[in-house]
Structure 1
Amino acid sequence: MRLPLLLVTSVTVLCSALACNRGVTVTTPTDPPVSGSVNGNDTPNPTSTNTTDLRPARATAFDTTSRPAWLESRIQNHLAEPKQNPPVQVSRYRYKGQVVYYETVGCCDQFSNLYDAKGKVICHPEGGLTGRGDGQCPDFDKNKTGEMLVWRDPR
């Protein structure tokens, strides 16, 4: 008596396991609604635009106008060195009535550099062990204006 019951139970389990693979319908948000209505349990109409853009982001436009020769030389030096993380970048500002260039550097407690228009280092606004720079221009963040990205390491 136990054998037929065991056989019936085994067949039932086997059939139900196989039945799981049959007749399964999966709807996704890109399937059109069954009734033509998006209300209720139906999935919404597909969107006409892609939700993921797999194209690479457009390159940032840099201000290449009037780059001084000393700055072009600095950029070439950076490109000759291994890539830094985060990437080095140079921005132009107005600070205390003059054009200045702010150069970030890679990681790890290095000083950032603030240059005058002729390439002379004015101060180091950030970096160092404290992260506050050398203290020679503590008002730079508050008083800088007219930010323009001049260059960022593209590698």
Structure 2
Amino acid sequence: MRLFLSLAVSSLAIWLSTACGRGVAVNTPTDPPVSGNVNGNDTPNPTSTNTTDLRASATAAFDTTARPKWLADRIQAHLAEPKANPGVQISRYTYKGQVVYYETLGCCDQFSNVYNAKGKLICHPDGGLTGKGDGQCPDFDKNKTGESLVWRDPR
């Protein structure tokens, strides 16, 4: 029995020593580049340009038609403050038969604002701790029409 156990252990040791070495080779390429220069043309340049540009257009198509003075003043006030993240954006819509201006503000639980054409705050349709605004215009998203981007912080 002792002989059998000794033979089994020896066989296992031999098998492990050869099995671990099989098929394992770590080679570091040492061939020089084809041109003899690492800056050669082994890797060709791309043959096409990117078709997707995720950056915002530097020249956004803003609608500047009849911007009320209060709105121009509000835009100047935003430009005097540090840039918000995400940036402030103002859009014009028709809501309940009147022209309104929807202003998004920066990050994190801030209310968005909806102003009438004279600059009076009508409601906060979204934002706040619940994300549902102040409840004064819960149908704003469903009933706003005629979207037109008025201004987006370009910084």
- When normalised by structure 2's length, the TM-score is 0.69
What are the ranges of 5 or more consecutive residues in structure 1 without an aligned counterpart? 1-15, 31-45
Deviation at 1:20, TM superposition (A): 2.4
On the 8 A contact 2:92/2:101 being kept in 1, the answer is: yes
Is 1:22 aligned with 2:32? Answer: yes
**SS of residue paired to 2:86:** coil
What are the ranges of 5 or more consecutive residues in structure 2 without an aligned counterpart? 1-26, 36-40
1:98–1:23: structure 2 CA closer, same or farther, 3 Å change rule? closer
**Residues 117-128 of structure 1: pairs in structure 2 closer than 5 A:** 117-128=117-128
**SS of residue paired to 1:62:** coil
Q: How many Å separate the matches in 2 of 1:56 and 1:90?
A: 16
**Residues 89-108 of structure 1: pairs in structure 2 closer than 5 A:** 89-108=89-108
**Residues 24-43 of structure 1: pairs in structure 2 closer than 5 A:** 24=34, 28=43, 30=45
- Report how many aligned residue pairs link the two structures: 123
**SS of residue paired to 1:129:** coil
Deviation at 1:28, TM superposition (A): 4.3
Among all aligned residue pairs of Structure 1 and Structure 2, give the percentage whose two residues are the same amino acid: 70
**Residues 11-90 of structure 1: pairs in structure 2 closer than 5 A:** 20-22=30-32, 24=34, 28=43, 30=45, 47=47, 49-51=48-50, 57-90=57-90
Q: How many Å separate the matches in 1 of 2:122 and 2:82?
A: 26
Deviation at 1:108, TM superposition (A): 1.7
- When normalised by structure 1's length, the TM-score is 0.69
Q: How many Å separate the matches in 1 of 2:133 and 2:112?
A: 7
Q: How many Å separate the matches in 2 of 1:132 and 1:107?
A: 15
2:153 aligned partner:
153
On the 8 A contact 2:102/2:114 being kept in 1, the answer is: yes
Q: How many Å separate the matches in 1 of 2:30 and 2:56?
A: 42
1:20–1:133: structure 2 CA closer, same or farther, 3 Å change rule? same
1:140 aligned partner:
140
